[in-house]
Structure 1
Amino acid sequence: MKKLVLAIITLALFQFCQAPQTTDSTSSHGEDGWLTGTNEEKFDEIAHQLGGFSKTMVEVSYRYSELYWAGMDENWGYAEHQIEHIIEAMEDGLKRRPVRAESAETFMEEAIPAIEEIIEQKDKEAFIIGFRAFTSACNACHAKEGESYIVIQEPLQRLSPVRF
């Protein structure tokens, strides 16, 4: 998903740089010319396609579930992989929506390092306890944003075929 987004951005920027630099360029770009309008309108559309924080939360939700199952399987390498991608997704989302940074600060500076330390221990029982604290941190962040109706819980079913 991240590679697709980066490819779209790279293609758009490349095409922008190759286009005559007028403020009123209205040529079409992209497969079948889906990216139309002035350069400003095109950049607005690219920003819209990247989305705000809701798209970040879709990726974080997936990674959160995979992190849980990695811990349950004691697949510590996969757990580390998921945390890396949670961090990347959050950082990218916070670039797009810096207004969320204050609410996410405790999560990013405390909850993530805490779960990283627990993963390094490679102890399933410690992971279960730590994951519950991690989940609480997710919900605390949602509450700070006035979205306490978004309640995160440990996953009940695997959605991914990844097994260890």
Structure 2
Amino acid sequence: MNAAQLQHLKLWFAGKSKNWELAAFELRQLTDSLAQAAVLYPGIPVSNVTTMKDPLLSIADAIDAGDGRRFTASMRALTDRCNACHTSLERSFIAIGLPRPTSRRPPIRYSRRPKRPPRNDELTQTGHHKDRPRGPDFALDIVHCSGIRKRQSR
């Protein structure tokens, strides 16, 4: 069944990228894996496997037509049937999902000016920035007025 989960995901990505030849291959692989699961796992009722027929045929039709929208809808139906089968076998903790589209993040804009070092009034007596957290029991750098850095253990 691990192979079926991987094939399900590969089928999704092949269809979303409109690589219909690869999608057709992955669909055959997935169909074979589901048929093998019905034979190898005696606890799976035959009715659970036969309910996969309609979504698989719908996916095959979408691939043949090169229809991305129908492919997406059929994949969602197949995913729902997979999860329904897992739930009926009291294995709902095995949840099949489809990747969600990621939101486009705005590009990071870097300032042309380098960050300025902290001013003296922003530093604590130990030479650390006020807002920067300090962990316990580590050596602190103490900046003296003369500019000499000394290591002092806490």
Give the TM-score of the pair, scaled to structure 2.
0.59
- Out of 131, 143, 147, the residue aligned to residue 87 of structure 2 is 143
TM-aligned CA deviation for residue 87 of structure 1: 1.2
Matched position secondary structure for 2:43: helix
Larger Rg: 2
Separation of aligned partners in 2, 1:125 and 1:156: 15
Separation of aligned partners in 1, 2:79 and 2:93: 14
Amino acid at match of 2:68: K
The superposition leaves residues 68-102 of structure 1 with CA deviations (integer Å, 9 ceiling, x where unpaired) of 00011101111110110111112122221233123
Give the structure 2 partner of residue 104 of structure 1: 49
Give the structure 1 partner of residue 58 of structure 2: 114
TM-aligned CA deviation for residue 137 of structure 1: 1.3
Amino acid at match of 2:60: E
Amino acid at match of 1:104: V
- Out of 53, 67, 88, the residue aligned to residue 11 of structure 2 is 67
| Root mean square deviation of aligned Cα | 1.8
The superposition leaves residues 30-68 of structure 1 with CA deviations (integer Å, 9 ceiling, x where unpaired) of xxxxxxxxxxxxxxxxxxxxxxxxxxx110011011100
Q: Specify which structure has the higher proportion of helix.
A: 1
Give the structure 2 partner of residue 86 of structure 1: 30
Matched position secondary structure for 1:65: helix
TM-aligned CA deviation for residue 106 of structure 1: 0.5
Give the number of aligned pairs.
100
Q: Specify which structure has the higher proportion of strand.
A: 2
Q: Highest relative contact order (Cα 8 Å, sep 6+), 1 or 2?
A: 1
4+ runs deviating over 2 angstroms: none
Amino acid at match of 2:41: R
- Contact kept, 8 Å, 1:103 with 1:145, in 2: the verdict is no
TM-aligned CA deviation for residue 130 of structure 1: 1.7
- Please list every run of 5 or more consecutive structure 2 residues that lacks an aligned counterpart in the other structure: 102-154
TM-aligned CA deviation for residue 149 of structure 1: 2.2
- Contact kept, 8 Å, 1:74 with 1:124, in 2: the verdict is yes
